[in-house]
Structure 1
Amino acid sequence: MQALVEFCRALERIAGSGASTGIAGARAAEAMVALIADGGWLPDAWAAPSDVRYQQHLLYLDRSARFSVVSFVWGPGQHTPIHDHGGLWGVVGVLRGAERSTRYDRGADGALTAHAPDLLAAGAVEVLDPAVGDIHAVTNALADRVSVSIHAYGGDIGSIERRAFDTDGTPRLFVSHYSPHPPMIEVLP
């Protein structure tokens, strides 16, 4: 758990710096590399999948909601819709398994254009910056195993309204919410 505490302390410094979304995301990515170097700190309860859909387990939420840290747990074949992050910067670090992330550009007419998917293996880190485009969809890249990634966002990702997109680019609002499991850390030591 000490690795997670140190990561959250780094995010506190980033959140207090007033950095732009791009700089905050880049700094958080540097800290994420150290966090996901060894996955032994994540207890099984926060790496538990669901048969119904991917799980978003809250690990820590800053008291002022300046950032949140979440474990995403993907069963075989589970995926997100095409979505954005509500104006928040984000960093994804693959802890176990692999994910396929497909980014999208949204044209002036609202239509989406997909980029070639990126395969993110264990140890990979991806930065999501709304200033340059953060629309994507994520899929567990493994057909026979669970994948786990650690996400950090520049706000409370489980309570903000975001947009999911139909394949034609039509947006609909949603809130992703956390699993009912309690946070791994309530208050930083």
Structure 2
Amino acid sequence: MTPTAAGSRTSTEFQQGRRTEVSQKLLAFVAEVTRCVENVQDEVIVVSRVRKAMSELVSTDDWLPETMALSDPKFYQQHLLYGDPLDRFSVVSFVWGPGQQTPVHDHSVWGVIGMLRGSEINQRYGRTAYGMDPIGGSERLEPGDVEIVSEAVGDIHQVRNAFDDRVSISIHCYGGNIGRIRRHVFKDLGETQEFVSGYSNALTPNLWAPAQ
């Protein structure tokens, strides 16, 4: 929904529409990650706990609001589901249209990726004197699978939708406001280009509205 479209609706209609996007499962996930970043200093432990919570979140595909599952024929979409007020973490729905993929890129913070719908192919990369080389074989994520990116285990990868005829969706939790972080795209010969991804949506789900 764009700001223009939202502005054309009455206040009552808008609030009712927001209530349909309530997700107790997502709220529980956000609460757990908040407890982690508030009480745990060790990144390894934080990521381990977030991974467990993510595994629970993507174990069922019945909670993601439809507005956060919208694809685009030209570009993969990054819908912000929740942004911590202190920028300690963010939760994003990545929606991959048929055949869409990222360039080789990094994140600069830890990330936990859970496959919710469809499937995606993840290929890790490492820097060499001649540019970027694949590390190992590609990994295919199926619904319920969880993957990690970080400086410790590898922060550079390329991701693509495993399907050319359907949408795939993965849920990402990052150790920062990923839409504002300056990151890098890596070209074939090792050339780097800085970028800030931003987000695709203008509004986020209201996690605290009463369920109907």
**TM-score, with length taken from structure 1:** 0.93
Structure 1 residues 1-189: aligned runs within 5 Å:
1-86=23-108, 88-107=109-128, 109=129, 111-115=131-135, 116-185=137-206
1:25-81 deviation per Cα after TM superposition (whole angstroms, max 9, x unaligned): 221110001101112111111000001100000000011111000000000110111
Q: Is the 8 A contact 1:55 1:73 kept in 2?
A: yes
Q: Is the 8 A contact 1:128 1:134 kept in 2?
A: yes
Which amino acid letter does the alignment assign opposite residue 152 of structure 2? A
Taking the aligned partners of 1:90 and 1:96, their CA distance within structure 2 comes to 18
Q: Is the 8 A contact 2:124 2:157 kept in 1?
A: yes
Taking the aligned partners of 2:168 and 2:107, their CA distance within structure 1 comes to 21
Any stretches of 5+ residues in structure 1 without a counterpart?
Answer: none
Q: Where do 4+ consecutive residues of structure 1 move more than 6 Å?
A: 186-189
Taking the aligned partners of 1:74 and 1:186, their CA distance within structure 2 comes to 24
Any stretches of 5+ residues in structure 2 without a counterpart?
Answer: 1-22
Higher strand share: 1
**CA offset at residue 171 of structure 1?**
1.1
Taking the aligned partners of 1:69 and 1:187, their CA distance within structure 2 comes to 16
Instruction: State the SS of the aligned residue for 1:139.
Output: strand
**CA offset at residue 9 of structure 1?**
0.6
Closer/same/farther in 2, CA of residues 122 and 34 from structure 1, 3 Å limit: same
**CA offset at residue 106 of structure 1?**
1.6
User: Greater Rg, structure 1 or structure 2?
Assistant: 2
Instruction: State the SS of the aligned residue for 2:62.
Output: helix
**TM-score, with length taken from structure 2:** 0.83
Taking the aligned partners of 1:172 and 1:36, their CA distance within structure 2 comes to 32
Instruction: State the SS of the aligned residue for 1:41.
Output: coil
Q: Identity percentage over the alignment?
A: 45
Aligned residues: 187
